[in-house]
Structure 1
Amino acid sequence: MAFVPDTPTFAPASLPRRSNLLRFVRRHPLVLVGGGMLVFLMLMAIAAPLIAADPSTMDPLKRLQPPSAEAWFGRDDLGRDVFARTVFGARISLLVGLLSAAGAAAGGLFIGVVAGYNRTFDSLVMRFMDALMSIPAILLAIALVSLTGSSIGILIVAITVPQMPSVTRLVRSIVLSVRERAYVEAAVCGGARTRKVLWRHILPSAIAPLMVQSANVCASAILIEAGLSFLGAGVPPEIPSWGNMIASNRLYLGIAPLTIFGPGIFLACTVLAANLLGDGLRDLFDPRTKRRQ
């Protein structure tokens, strides 16, 4: 009787990847929820012309109409579609939030690394950062906008500058702790250039905390932009923004509540998504969490 060897069975290559994905989702649900909400809002903002009407079209005969199939959130005091303005307003909030977070992260990373590694530069820069942190962020932003004028570019700069000190202090504290470690001292004693030491040995330790802080800065920047627009110091009134929508319709809260609750809910969900993503990234990069898992 002939011997027939057992034929090995191989599991599909997609099964390990699927199990790893499910394990990641189970261990870090905040990253999935927060990131998914932000991706959805970004896609909504990009596809705004396809899913919403022209936000600047006015029809005084339909002013303050209740929600309908034509206007899901009703119409404001000028007869404009509140849902369309809310969708297009996501562009301003996300643009300001993401660019402000990127600018604060880039500037704070550069200044924090230089200040933490160079003791002479450290004292001067950190005293200046302490002075910036002593001023409320929204007041400093109002002052910058008042001096230079109101535009999206100026608004991003006005929000980025007050957010930079917190990122700088975070990066500086990491650099101060990393530069005293044995492998950094060995690289310096071995004749490695300062640029190589910073790039290979110090910067990788600051990337993970910087990503977490950037998510928190993004949430704070979106709130500051809404506050500035509400006070009339943000984007011009003709550009739809969640803050100026709430400000212009606050007198009609009892008549048309969705003119305020519509953009307000979107604003709250965006800030919540950024905060959830930041908390999820913190748990993801925390070595103590990894050891418990």
Structure 2
Amino acid sequence: MAAEVVTTNSVKNSVPLKKKEKYLVTTGKRLLRNKLAVMGLIIITLQIFLALAAPLITIHGPLKQNLAASELPLFSEGHWLGTDNYGRDMWSRIVYGARISLVVGITAVSLGLIGGVTLGLLSGYYRRLDGFIMRIVDLLFAFPGILLAMLIIAVLGTSLVNVAIAISIWSIPTCARIVRGSVLSVKKQEYILAMKSLGASDLRIMVKHILPNCIAPIIVFATMRMATAILSTAALSYLGLGAQPPTPEWGAMIAQGQNFMWTSPHMTIVPGIAIMLIVFAFNVVGDGLRDALDPNMNLNQ
């Protein structure tokens, strides 16, 4: 009899697991059928590899100067992406710049998610807090994003750490709105009402039952926000509010190279292409994930 109970319970527990596995497999197949998304994944994977393997795939240090070899053009011997006006190897600076972009982007998006998800959960679940939290979110929305980031950096000071903090604060209101909308939809489901009637705590309901059902829009937001974070980091560094010379950051490299646009255009074009590619990659992957994670589209497959 005990064996029958165990078998029955195991079968019951395996049903939702099989559904989740089927959903993940279907989602993965849909994503891989999107050619742009696959291209984006390849670009992102390549950037991660370059960032991690930077010391192994570069010969020259990103800060090492050689004035005798300054402003070398593309495909020069020993410097296939040329050098800048101080003779620093452009390939090394691009590769180490990938590290900065990833670290700042991941930090900014992670902090933004922590704040946005928390506010979104509280606002969507507790109606008495909804008005107060949403008014704070509306206040943050009143400032254009880049201007809000510039204001925060002006208060905190110029550094990459403060850039990450500024971008994370900029990300919070959008994330909070997305999560709030999902929470308002999920908490009306019958199983949530059943959990309340069984005496489950609000924290348990929010964390174990509501939040997992909001993961799909959060993943899409985080992916696309990475593109915004990298682009914003480059923009702020270009304006002199982020990375300071001689840090090999792509936006700062463009700011430095603009004075040599006619004599050494590669100093501006190369980091510009690097920014364009990685922003494009995260955007198309985000679009692909949005389509792949749509349950209605998955059900039609």
Give your verdict on TM over 0.5. yes
Report if the CA contact (8 A) 1:104-1:161 is conserved.
yes
Match of 1:35 in 2: 41
CA distance in 2 between partners of 1:20 and 1:126 (Å): 36
Match of 2:13 in 1: none
Shift of 1:80: 1.2
Structure 1, unaligned stretches of length 5 or more? 1-18
CA distance in 2 between partners of 1:147 and 1:23 (Å): 47
Paired amino acid for 1:110: T
Per-residue CA deviation, residues 156-194 of structure 1 (Å, 9 max, x unaligned), is: 101110111000000001111111222212221222211
Structure 2, unaligned stretches of length 5 or more? 1-24
Report if the CA contact (8 A) 2:31-2:292 is conserved.
no
SS of alignment partner, residue 75 of structure 1:
coil
Shift of 1:32: 3.0
- Answering whether residue 90 of structure 2 is matched by residue 82 of structure 1, we say yes
Paired amino acid for 1:32: V
Report if the CA contact (8 A) 1:83-1:262 is conserved.
no
Change (3 A) 1:198 1:140: same
Among residues 104, 107, 110, which one is paired with 2:118 in the alignment?
110
Shift of 1:37: 1.5
CA distance in 2 between partners of 1:288 and 1:105 (Å): 25
Among residues 25, 47, 60, which one is paired with 2:53 in the alignment?
47
CA distance in 2 between partners of 1:123 and 1:156 (Å): 28
Change (3 A) 1:152 1:287: same
Report if the CA contact (8 A) 2:237-2:252 is conserved.
yes
- Answering whether residue 243 of structure 2 is matched by residue 235 of structure 1, we say yes
CA distance in 2 between partners of 1:21 and 1:137 (Å): 32
Among residues 200, 208, 232, which one is paired with 1:224 in the alignment?
232
Per-residue CA deviation, residues 133-159 of structure 1 (Å, 9 max, x unaligned), is: 111111111121122222222111011
Report if the CA contact (8 A) 2:104-2:164 is conserved.
yes
CA distance in 2 between partners of 1:74 and 1:140 (Å): 36
Paired amino acid for 1:167: C
Change (3 A) 1:47 1:64: same
- Answering whether residue 282 of structure 2 is matched by residue 274 of structure 1, we say yes
Change (3 A) 1:273 1:202: same
- The two structures, once aligned, show a CA RMSD in angstroms of 1.9
- Percent of matched pairs sharing the same residue: 37
Shift of 1:22: 9.6
Report if the CA contact (8 A) 2:28-2:292 is conserved.
no
Report if the CA contact (8 A) 2:31-2:289 is conserved.
no
- Answering whether residue 64 of structure 2 is matched by residue 57 of structure 1, we say yes
Among residues 88, 92, 100, which one is paired with 2:108 in the alignment?
100
Shift of 1:243: 0.2
Q: Any residues of structure 2 matched to 1:122-161 within 5 Å, and which?
A: 122-161=130-169
Shift of 1:278: 0.6
- Answering whether residue 262 of structure 2 is matched by residue 254 of structure 1, we say yes
Shift of 1:27: 2.8
CA distance in 2 between partners of 1:143 and 1:176 (Å): 33
Change (3 A) 1:23 1:228: closer
SS of alignment partner, residue 153 of structure 1:
helix
Change (3 A) 1:99 1:137: same
CA distance in 2 between partners of 1:177 and 1:24 (Å): 25
Q: Report the TM-score when normalising by structure 1.
A: 0.89
Paired amino acid for 1:43: F
Q: Max radius of gyration: which structure?
A: 1
CA distance in 1 between partners of 2:181 and 2:28 (Å): 35
Match of 1:4 in 2: none
SS of alignment partner, residue 156 of structure 1:
helix
